[in-house]
Structure 1
Amino acid sequence: MPMGGPSPVSRPARLPSVALSLVALIGGAWLLGALFFQFDPPLRGLLMAGAAAVAMAIVALAWTRRLAALLVLVACLAAAAVWWASILPSNDRDWAPDVAHGVTGTIDGTSVVLHHVRDFAWRTETDADIRWVTRRYDLDDLRSVDLLTSVWDNPAIAHTLLSFGFADGRHVVFSAEIRRKRHEAFSAIGGFFKRFELVLIAAEERDIVRLRTTIRREDVSLFPLRVPPDAARRLFRSYIDRANELATRPEFYQTVTTNCTTVVVRLAQEAGRGIPLDWRILLSGYLPDYLSDHGAIASDRPLDEIKASAKISPLARRETAGDDFSRLIRSGDLFVTATAR
């Protein structure tokens, strides 16, 4: 029999201890993240220190008293699951002014009334004349659907919005956004830990688009979409249905599964657009490529040319007093040469 080193029996015997340690460490890491985003100092620090200490104690026990480690681990996981399930979304918090109201709507035949449409006049990112208005539209006058993408850092990640245009020149933009509390900043990681609710905002283009192009200096693109009239009306209605649903049954924003792009795709599918699932739904900066592959962009030009012509931030920044903002951002050649929708 070879001398030195573990016997053939001892290595498999260590596997349960390794497994217990891994579960304790992974569960502890998740719990630390959850505690970080669910509590404020000083309680946050105390709870995180306690969770880390318990996780390390379970790891130590896993190598000496395996059954005790298993029992403590199961008890901790059960307690964490009960606590996590008790965290429920709400529509009643001290919200940041720009997400203070989610849109709701009523439909009577083809007549639609939207309540709490945002119409802010922005001076800086944090200073604006606050105005929430009621708007009435006739779905028989719906003429266009345009996709907006807004990139602020990584070009693979973009915020996506849909703008609906009517025969009288008016446009209304729908945007699924995180609902921040007053003085709270967005965190993509926090979106995994029930930090933010989801809100559906309806806004005037001179508010929500200008905020991104001119005030925040983001790289915004506008793509005309090829959507049949019946599908466009169904898509508009699906936004209203979703907004009314969130008003009565709030949901958490989730960075991967319930974000601005997944909401758009889900609503398009409900409207009968038949958009298949694709990895570019998650990497939303590539959404125009995805839509182009499926013939949804109203242009027959090469995609590179479409994307170059779709950039509207330089146009928006030329705005002067009295300009029609919606017409200004559509003054590029992409909209002049767009094919029939």
Structure 2
Amino acid sequence: MRVETIPPAPGRNGRWMRIVARVLAAATIAAATAWGAGLIGFQFPGTSPWRGALIAAWCALGVASVAVLVLRRVAVRKLILIAFAAGLAALLAWWLSLAPSHHRDWADDVARLLDAQVSGDRVVLRNVRNFQWRSETDYTPHWETREYDLSRLSSADLVLSYWMGPDIAHTLVSFGFDDGRRVVFSLEIRKERGESFSALGGFFRRYEQVLVAADERDIVRTRSNARGEDVYLYRLDIPPQTLRPMFLGFLAKAGALQRQPAFYNTLTSNCTTVVFEIARHVVPDLPLDYRLLAAGHFAEYVYDRGGLTPGYRYSQLQERGYINPRALAVPADADAGTFSRAIRRGVPGVPTAETGP
């Protein structure tokens, strides 16, 4: 017996394809509208009323463009879509014209760029920050030139500072030498005077990058004591031969930024991704992971890769690595060594010789 299939009604597949195409086009226009509104909001140089009016006009054009895709037989459809395309082209041209710069009125704590000179084991770092912070806005600026012997490099610690919930943290790496000296590297936004950080602004070329080298009493203490952030310190379990290339990796990043300014990006070029990039040069097989974006979980990622002190559960490392009570107990006039020893007491993997009696 012969069975015949009934073909679909003429034009049915074509109609569904047109519907899918309209939905995709509408989603694309909506995304472009949101992106353009963010660009105007964070980059338009005019006053707030003009900025708000321009955002409103752009969003109205985006809504109209989506509407004419959904509604049928709209006489001005072509005109509205052409207007949106022209506006988007203008915004893209503006976006591409934005260029990072070293020449702005920078905030005091990012006013200078790290300058490094390496000759064999001898490293000279100029513009190492060592501010005395009494509060987030009350401080005494101080920049130093320091010399280090790479043959005495003995340890590295991962520091996470939580300032906006459990998923968002700032990542720092502190290197220690066998003479008790330390230096911390931190990739940060290079704020202009009076400017504050916005995670959304970091998507729209709002900030330049800067790699800060600083004393622990400056860059760690200001977070735990002056800002009241929750700070955790973990000893990195990495072989001695890995310490040197990691240290030099941060200096290479500083040199690249000194030669050519670059924009900070909240997603792709931030305080955590720079640590990952440097580590991947040393250990090429490190996998990508969502915790590189959710930086608050970065220490857990390092733990899962075997990079923290072995023999402990992650929860134990986190509990013992919480430094705030110890940091707050250190007198404000204590020297850098006293602060560094105090915050490491009880941290797994840190020898007693580094924490003092």
Q: Decide: shared fold, TM above 0.5.
A: yes
Aligned to 1:322: 334
Q: CA deviation at 1:220?
A: 0.8
Conserved 8 A contact 1:299-1:337: no
Conserved 8 A contact 1:61-1:68: no
Conserved 8 A contact 2:234-2:347: no
Q: 1:61 to 1:280 in 2, by over 3 A?
A: closer
Aligned to 2:8: none
Correspondence list, 1:103-114, <5 A: 103-114=114-125
Code of the aligned partner of 1:268: A
Matched, 1:210 2:221: yes
- Using the size of structure 1 for normalisation, the TM-score is 0.90
Matched, 1:25 2:46: no
Distance in 2 between residues matched to 1:19 and 1:289, nearest whole Å = 38
Conserved 8 A contact 1:198-1:251: yes
Conserved 8 A contact 1:192-1:254: yes
Determine what percentage of the aligned residue pairs are the same residue. Answer: 43
Matched residue of 2:329: which SS? Answer: coil
Q: CA deviation at 1:335?
A: 4.4
Code of the aligned partner of 1:322: A
- Using the size of structure 2 for normalisation, the TM-score is 0.86
Number of residue pairs matched? Answer: 332
Distance in 1 between residues matched to 2:267 and 2:202, nearest whole Å = 8
For 1:58, which of 45, 62, 65 is the aligned residue? 65
Distance in 2 between residues matched to 1:25 and 1:300, nearest whole Å = 50
Distance in 1 between residues matched to 2:314 and 2:22, nearest whole Å = 55
Distance in 2 between residues matched to 1:166 and 1:337, nearest whole Å = 13
Q: 1:233 to 1:58 in 2, by over 3 A?
A: same
Q: CA deviation at 1:53?
A: 3.6
Q: CA deviation at 1:230?
A: 2.0
Matched residue of 1:199: which SS? Answer: strand
RMSD: 2.3
Matched, 1:276 2:281: no
Aligned to 2:207: 196
Q: Which moved more, 1:323-332 or 1:249-258?
A: 323-332
Conserved 8 A contact 1:231-1:273: no
Conserved 8 A contact 1:102-1:202: no
For 1:37, which of 37, 42, 45 is the aligned residue? 42
Distance in 2 between residues matched to 1:129 and 1:195, nearest whole Å = 27
Distance in 2 between residues matched to 1:219 and 1:335, nearest whole Å = 21
Q: 1:265 to 1:163 in 2, by over 3 A?
A: same
Code of the aligned partner of 2:54: L
Distance in 2 between residues matched to 1:274 and 1:16, nearest whole Å = 40
Q: CA deviation at 1:239?
A: 0.5
Runs of 5+ unmatched residues, structure 1: 1-6
Distance in 2 between residues matched to 1:210 and 1:22, nearest whole Å = 46
Q: CA deviation at 1:337?
A: 6.0
Distance in 1 between residues matched to 2:305 and 2:68, nearest whole Å = 56
Conserved 8 A contact 1:223-1:297: yes
